[in-house]
Each structure stands twice: as C-alpha cells, then as structure tokens.
Structure 1
C-alpha cells in the first residue's frame, strides 16, 4: 500500500509536468504552476530510484507522498478548469495556496530522502554521491523558489485598509502591475469576474469562501482608489479628468452617464456589461437592484459637456455630449433661469435653465425605489465648485437673472471654467453693497471675528456674523480659512439667537461655508440639524429659506438624508412648503425632494401633510408644477403617498399635466398615474373618468422616451383591466 502511494505520486507528477508543458496561456496562474512543474522535474527521478523495501520501512515518506499527490492532482484539476475569464485575483490566491502545499510536501520528502541516505550508506541505490547531490540541488531549488507572492501584497493592502494605515500604495502597485489590471477594461473585466464568483459562493453557502470573495471586493475598491490617486489613465490631451466624471465601476470617462436603481451613476457601456452578465447588485453600494432600467443622468452629462467645452476637448468617442439634449432641456427643465440666479452654489446649476433638475427630479419607476439621482458626494463637490454665487443676500437685495444679463457681464452660467466664474462673481459684486468682500482675508482677521461671535454683545455678534457671511460669499479661499479658524461652532450657536438679524446672518454664513466639502462635514458634526430646524420654525423669511437650503446642502453628505429625516426637519420643511415665500417654497421642495430619495423619509413627508401642499402647487400660476409633480412621483411609490394624492384630489390635475404640461412634467405625472393605477383598481377608475386616455395616447407617441414608456404601460394596463372585466361578465 505504501509503495503504491509513491508510485501513484510519480504517475501524478508525470501527468502534471506533461499538462503544464502543453499550456500556452501566459497568465499569472499558469506561469506559477509552470515554474513549479519545472522544480518537480528534479524530484521525480529521486522517487523513481527509491527501493520498494525502503518505502515500506519509512512510513513518513509514503504519508508525505500521499499529501503531495493530492496537491499535485488538485493543481492539475485547477488548471484544466481554469479560464482566462475567471478572476485573476482569486485565481492567483488559489494557485498560491496549492503551490504552498506542493512546496511544503516536496521539501518534506527531500528531508526524508536525506535521512534515508544517511541511514543507508551501504546501499548503492541511495548512498551514491550523485544521488546526494541531486537531493541537495532539489532542496536548494525549492527553498530559493520565490515566495514573495501576490497574496502577501494583497494581505498587506487589506491590513492597511482595516487598520486605517497611511498608505498601501506600494502593495497595490505590485498587485496592479503583476496582474495586469492597469487598463480600465481589465479592471471592469476583473470586477465582473469577481462578482460572478461571489454569486457562485453565495449559492454554496461557504462562509470561508464568502469571506475571501468579500475581501477581494474590498481590494478592488482599493485598486480603484489607487488608480485615481496615482493618475493612471486619468487625463485627456494632458488635462486631468475630474474624479467625479469617471465611472465608479470601470473608471472610464463617462460620456453617457446613467443612473441605476440604487441611485448611483455609471458609464452606460460599463454598467451594461455588468448587467448583461446577470449581475443583480449595484457595484458601488452592493444593494440588490430591484430593476435594471438605466436612466440618463442629465446633470452629470451637462457638467461633462461644460468641462469638455471649457478645456477645448471632445468626448473620447467623438460624440458631442449633451448636444442632443439641449433643445429638450431648455423646454422641460424644472427650474427657471431666474431660480438659478437667486439660489446658491449647492443648487448644482450648470445651465441657465438649471440642468440639475433633469436628474434630481426624475420620475420614479414602477415597482422599485425612486429612480431620482442620489447625487454622489464627489459629483456634488463638482457641482458646488462649478457655480460660485452664494445666496448671501436677503430676497430684497439679490439680483434677478435679467439684472445679470442686462449688464452684459455674463450671458450664461453654462460655462464653469475659472474665468467665467470670476466674471460672474464680479458681476454680482458690481451690483452689491458688499463688493469689497471678494478679497482673500487673513487668519488673524478671522480669529478676531470668531472672538466677536463669542462676545456677550449682540452688536459684536451681529457684525461678526455679517462679515463672515460676506467673506464666504464668493471667495473659496476665505471659506477654507474661516473653517480652519473655528468659526463653525460659534455660528451654529447663534442659530438660537433671539436677534432675528443675527440668526439670519449666521445661517447664511453656514450655508456659504458648506460649499466647501471639509466645512460641510465640520458643520454636520456640530449637531447643526436641530438648530437649523429651530430657524425653520422661528426665523425670518430669509433665514428660513437659507436654513432649508443648508439642510439640502447637508443632505448631500452620506447618511445625512436619514439623520435629517429622523429630526423635526421634515415637518418644518413641509410647513415652509405650504406657508413660506415663493422662494421658501422652492427651497423646501428641493430639500424635501432630496430627502425623499431615502425610502424611510417618504412616509414622514406624507404624514407631515406635504401632499396637500404639493397638489395645491400643481396650479401653473404658482410656478412650481414640475418640482411638485416630481416630488409626488417619489411619494407615490408608497401606499400612504398614493392614498394622500387621491384624497387631496390630485388625479384631475395630474391628468391635466399629462395633457398640457412640460415634457418633464408629463413624464413625472404619467409615472404617478401609473403607480396609482397599478396598485388600486379604484384609482384606475378615477383616472379613466378624468379622460386620461387621449392625452396618454398622445404622450405615447410624442413624449420623452421614459414618458412614452409610462404612457404605454398605462394604456396596456387599461386594456388588460377592460379585457379582465369582459371575461368576468361572459
């Protein structure tokens, strides 16, 4: 039996060596195993020369041979099943595990053979000098075999991440270079392969294997971060591509950005490859995708078009980004040009018609979560820096769009380059009483203002808050200096000031400071939500407006949608929506829309009475039809929202919007009606009674692609309902 173990091993070695000699793949796993096969060639003759009697008398030898035989056969099976489409990282890890076992067993066998040689000096088979030399040569080869493998770099990279060490770039560089993950295409292919492996392991319910796959998923995220930071393939004609214009899955430049059900934006071609492979989770958030519809992200598309234009670049595929959308955008966007001029940088404005509204106020899809774009923090940073006019003035002193255009200083906000931003700031300053605040301040001066904020004198507090508000209005450097000098905490404290003017200056200063990402995070950490809610309830009209705007700005931070939703902000915003100034209602609608992207916030928004006011704002004379119907589209995805829409008699108005509204309004109104009809036969009857069929037929032929889809779904549902009724009667 023992003799057979050694003979089985020699046969296995022969098959393995032959198998590896036939391999033509130049991938890392194959090369690793080929190098080991070359080493095993030295071991096989030594085993062939062993006397059967010696094998039987040395139990450790046949046990070691059995272990090596299993490992060699496993390596052979692995290479026969392996495909270049498999994950490179996983393949290398599995290969190295096999090689470690083969090397360990081989060294053990050589050690046993050395001991046999010493105890059998009289035997001509093992006592010869030549055999001794061959064994020692084999041992040296195995010991010197390169053990600095990719798995060690992977282990160190993950360890650095888990322990939050400063850098693991050296390890990541080694992984990327060794595995050939330099190109975006290779990174996308690897991501898809890893997710396929994860699905297989998930079905097998192996916790150990699942832990390994999850670590590889984390590693791919580290590789993407490393690739972005190191600037690999990150420029066009020498111009660095902003991080937020690159697909979070493939890192490709996003010439056609689309939104998936999780609310994350990807390059269409990249996410399509992902979905075509049957993958059902979002590559970024790891959430299960309830549907695979891809919604164009007009905000990011417009930003990219502006960036290309400002840098005299063309899209890599040669297409004219956003040109096909501009005519439709000018007709259907949800915000007017005057809204743009009267709002802050966080409004994410890039066109005079506010192209952000196209993605921010998207219709929701039936049967799934809101398809509205949940703007990522990186995209918002881009948007925030693309438009520097902050809303430092009260409603009485802010310029209208006609004021700006009549000056001839700036004809369009669609240019987001530095020069045009400076021109815009100068245009505002020329018409403002505070034009001297464009200059960069100093830390010493800001320190004095911070001390005045803490003064018991309300006059000093008021003057300091006003000056900080104005210093942070246009100048980004001032925002950084003010944040670093510790002004945020004292400004938050002044939100509870009994002096309404001081309160207004403080909340507007915080709004302007929040345009800097570090300041925004700092403001959020001060527990600012409750003080902002206090301003919403008790402040002046301008303070309420800017408090709502600040809440919107903070809601762009990860996790803050739910935190704001759990506070008393929702009810206060709904009150502003119903009873505020025209501008206050718009600010409240914008903030509530962004909060409604978080599913948990939808029911509280409905419970607070938002639907009643939104239905009232469907009146065209209010100037908020598109914004209101977009928020209703989000709220209609829950039963409470649908019931409230019907109870507040919103159905007739929605049918009217489908008939005579803007293109975007028609799309969102059709989405609401579809939600109502699919979930209630009673609501379906009400929709039909309002004469919805003719406008839906027209929309199915002439609307936007999504509007056509919604209209066709509704008409099909009506037919099915009618046919079902006919069958029952017959």
Structure 2
C-alpha cells in the first residue's frame, strides 16, 4: 500500500511539473536569432541584402543609410566598392522557414520581396517608348507607360530609379509627339502619360520645356475642359507645375482659349481637394503676374470667381482657405475686383474672421484684401470701415501688431488702424459707467 501511494504521489508531482513547464514555455517571449536581425534597425529582416563587404542588412535600412550620403559599411566602416546591394536569398529562405516553424507564436511568414528595378531595365523601357512614339503605336506606348506606373508604385526605390534616369523627359517628349495629332483620338495614351507624370514631381527643366510647347499646352487645356475627371485632375496638376516657375508658360496659358474657363470650373464644381488647390495656385499666378493679370482678372471677375471664393472661405479647409485668400488678394489689386468684393455682404466679416485663424500667410492676405477695399472707400462715407469695426477688425489688428508680423503687413495694419480710428466715435458704444449701480446676480 505504501509503495503504491508513493508511486501515485510521484506521478502527480511529475504531471504538475510538466504542466508548469508548459505554462512557462507559453509565457516566454520568442527570441529572434541574432543573424536574422538587421544590424541597423535590429528588427527582423524582410528583404536581406549583402554589401560588397559581406555584411547583410535589411534593404530598407541600408538604402536609407546610402541615400543619406554614407558610402561606407556601417559595421566594418570600409568604403563600399559598389552601392548596389545583392539580395541574400539564403538568409531570406532561412528567415521564412523560421517564421513558418514559429507560427504558433504569432510569427507571420515574410513575403518574398519583389526585385527592385534596375537602371538598365529603366533605359530599356524608355527606348521602347521612344520607338513606339516614332511608330505612332498608341497601344504599345500606353502599355509601357502603364508598366512604369505599376513598377513605381511598388516601392519608393523604384520611383527614384525612374526619376533619376530621366523618365519624366522621355514621357514629356511622348506627350508632345501625340499632342501634335488629334487629341480625342490619342486621348487614352495621353491621359496615361499625364497620370504617370504626376507621380514624378518635381519635373526637371527638360521635361517642362517639352510640356510647355504650344502643342502640349493646347492639349493640357483640352483635357482641362473636355477630359474625364482623372484627365482634368492630372492636367491641372501638370499646369500648376509648369506655370509656378516660368513666366513665359504662364503667358502662353493665359492666351489659350478656354484656359480660364477650365480653371474656373474646377473651383465651381470641385473634383477633389488636390485639383481644387492646384487650380487655385494656377489662378493665383495668373492674377498676380504682369502683364497677364489685368485681362485674367477681368475674365475671372466676369465669371463670378470673387463671389465663389468668398463663399468657399466660409467653411473650407485651411489649405484651400489660404490659397483662396491669395487669389482674392490678387483680384482686388484692380478696381473691378475691389468693387466686386465690396458688393458681397460676406466679404468684410469673412476677412476679419480669418485673421489669426488659419496661418500667418492667410492673415497677411486677409489684411491686404481688407486694406485694399477700405482704402478704395476712404473718400466715401466709410461703410466698409464701419462694418469692419463692428466685427472686431480694430482689436484683431492691434493684436497682430503685438504678436508680430511681416514689415509690409505691419505697415498695412498701421494704416488700417489710422483709418479705423477716425470712425470709432461713430459707433454706438455703451459706457460702462451707466451700469455702475446695477446689482449683479453673482
């Protein structure tokens, strides 16, 4: 009996120890093998690559190291003979096998990484696009451009490789070539090229020169007016890129029939915030750059842009408000624009409200527009001045001078305060002494 009882007790003790060992094993944190970790990030490598020094890193980490201007191996400090890392398929397979073996611990198998595009492959695609353009092969060119978009969207490295090898210039040449013929017949390939170009901003000078030709600009305006939604969006993005730094291209755009109407429609019937912002920036350059601004302002005012901008300022997001104020400031530089702004009942309240509410630049635009409107009415009864005073412009301008602003804005704010000061006594104010004997309920 005693021996039987001892055997049972020993069995129970062994079973208990086994359960405790299993629980401890479940609670233990799984340790990643040291040679599976990237020496830079110390994380599990997803795409192990080996340098010329024989050290293996995760591709993302070592590429960031090299792009930062480092040309040595982080571990050995040796100068790299080649900046092209070589995929380490053996380590990657070992890591994947280890992930599969430890999937019970929640470890997911790392996917097999795509091989990055090389400069040689990029140049081959560019050559094929050039040949397709010469042969007027729309389908072939469109397929090649679509392939570029797909590869670029796979990784930032692929995108940099295409941009670094002048792909934007090749696509711009193709766009110009197909723009010399019927826009509607070549719409599909032209739209595909535009879509790819928007992924390569900022464009280099050579690409801008081809896109700024007469044929290309006419085609861009055609897309702006008659293209589908994506075509109109891409067209205005490219136009903004072209005119933001080139006065000549701005004059060419202003002279093309339908350009102002196409830009206005994107404001009136928005497609997306990106297209709206691009259209506002393009219009801003048109209404603030001489000698095109006078005619452009007249066209936009006649279309009703001033009223549209003021209504947008009421509840639009900050970035759109800032750009709308910039356009409004440019339009109010002429008499017709100021008169149109003055006739809108929301102009002064909205301008005063936007001071200190959006950004420093928006505040400067608001003060500038307010000054232009008030200065134009200086010799009149001062209706705008009184309205601005009633909605708190005097206090906001004083605060602006206290917290600081640009020199030009400071001069304008000071002059506005002088104009306001001569009309302050005309407002009906309540003297606080009239209520000195009033009993308060608190």
Q: TM-score range by the shorter chain?
A: 0.5 to 0.7
Task: Specify the alignment match of 1:549 in structure 2.
Answer: 237
- Specify the alignment match of 1:718 in structure 2: 420
How far the C-alpha of 1:439 sits from its partner, in A, is 4.0
Deviations 1:334-391 (A, max 9, x none): xxxxxxxxxxxxxxxxxxxxxxxxxxxxxxxxxxxxxxxxxxxxxxxxxxxxxxxxxx
Tell me the residue number matched to 1:572: 262
Match for residue 591 of structure 1?
Answer: 282
- Cα distance in structure 2, aligned partners of 1:528 and 1:560: 11
Local SS of the residue matching 1:634: helix
Residue number in structure 1 paired with 2:327:
631
Give the aligned CA root-mean-square deviation in angstroms: 3.8
How far off is 1:438 after superposition? 6.7
The 1:456–1:487 alpha-carbon spacing in structure 2 relative to 1, beyond 3 Å, is closer
Say if 1:509 and 1:657 are closer, same or farther in 2 by CA, change over 3 A: same
CA distance in 1, matches of 2:410, 2:171: 51
Could you tell me whether the CA contact under 8 Å between 1:469 and 1:506 is conserved in 2?
Answer: no
Q: C-alpha deviations, 1:559-610, integer Å up to 9, x for none?
A: 2222211223222112112212222101111221222231322413333433
- CA distance 1:529–1:685, change in 2 (3 Å): farther
Separation in structure 2 between the aligned mates of residue 434 and residue 640 of structure 1, nearest angstrom:
59
Equivalent residues of 1:658, 1:670 under 8 A apart: yes
Is the deviation greater in 651-660 or in 474-483?
474-483
Say whether residues 1:523 and 2:189 are aligned partners. Answer: no
Instruction: Kindly indicate whether residue 377 of structure 2 is the aligned counterpart of residue 684 of structure 1.
Output: no
Is 2:185 the partner of 1:505?
no
Rounded to whole Å, the distance in 2 between the matches of 1:441 and 1:486 is 19
Residues 386, 423 of structure 2: 8 Å contact kept: no
Q: Which residue of 2 aligns with 1:695?
A: 396
- Cα 1:542/1:703, change in 2 over 3 Å: farther
Of 336, 354, 370 in structure 2, the residue corresponding to residue 673 of structure 1 is 370
Residues 471 and 482 of structure 1: is their aligned pair in 2 closer, same or farther, counting only changes over 3 Å? Answer: farther
Q: Which residue of 1 aligns with 2:311?
A: 616
Question: Once the 2 structures are TM-superposed, how far is the Cα of residue 536 of structure 1 from its aligned partner?
Answer: 1.0
Contact 1:676-1:684 at 8 Å conserved across structures? no
Counterparts of 1:612 and 1:441, CA distance in 2: 52
Please state how far the C-alpha of 1:516 moved relative to its aligned partner.
Answer: 1.4
Consecutive unaligned residues of structure 1, counting only runs of 5 or more, are 1-408, 421-432, 725-730
CA displacement, residues 88-117 of structure 1 (integer Å, 9 cap, x when unaligned): xxxxxxxxxxxxxxxxxxxxxxxxxxxxxx
1:720 Cα shift?
A: 4.7
Counterpart in the other structure of 2:16: none
**For 1:525 and 1:510, how far apart are their aligned partners in 2?**
16
Cα pair 1:635 1:642 within 8 Å, conserved: yes
- Answer whether contact 1:514 1:553 (CA < 8 A) is retained: yes
TM normalised by structure 2 equals 0.58
Distance of 1:626 and 1:494 partners within structure 2: 39
Match of 1:492 in 2: 179
The answer on whether the counterparts of 1:576 and 1:585 sit within 8 Å (CA) in structure 2 is yes
Question: Within 5 Å, which residues of 2 pair with 1:65-76?
Answer: none
TM-score (normalizing by structure 1): 0.37
| Aligned counterparts of 1:485 and 1:456: Cα–Cα separation in 2 | 15
The residue aligned with 2:140 is: 460
Instruction: Give the Cα separation in 2 of the matches to 1:441 and 1:650.
Output: 56
Aligned residues: 300
Question: Does the 8 Å contact 2:168/2:204 carry over to 1?
Answer: no
For structure 2, the 5+ residue unaligned runs are 1-59, 70-112, 153-158, 427-442
Cα displacement (A) at 1:542:
2.8
Cα separation, 1, equivalents of 2:301 and 2:183: 28
Offset, 1:618: 1.0
Question: Tell me, what secondary structure is at the counterpart of 1:496?
Answer: coil
Aligned to 2:26: none
What is the match of residue 228 of structure 2? 540
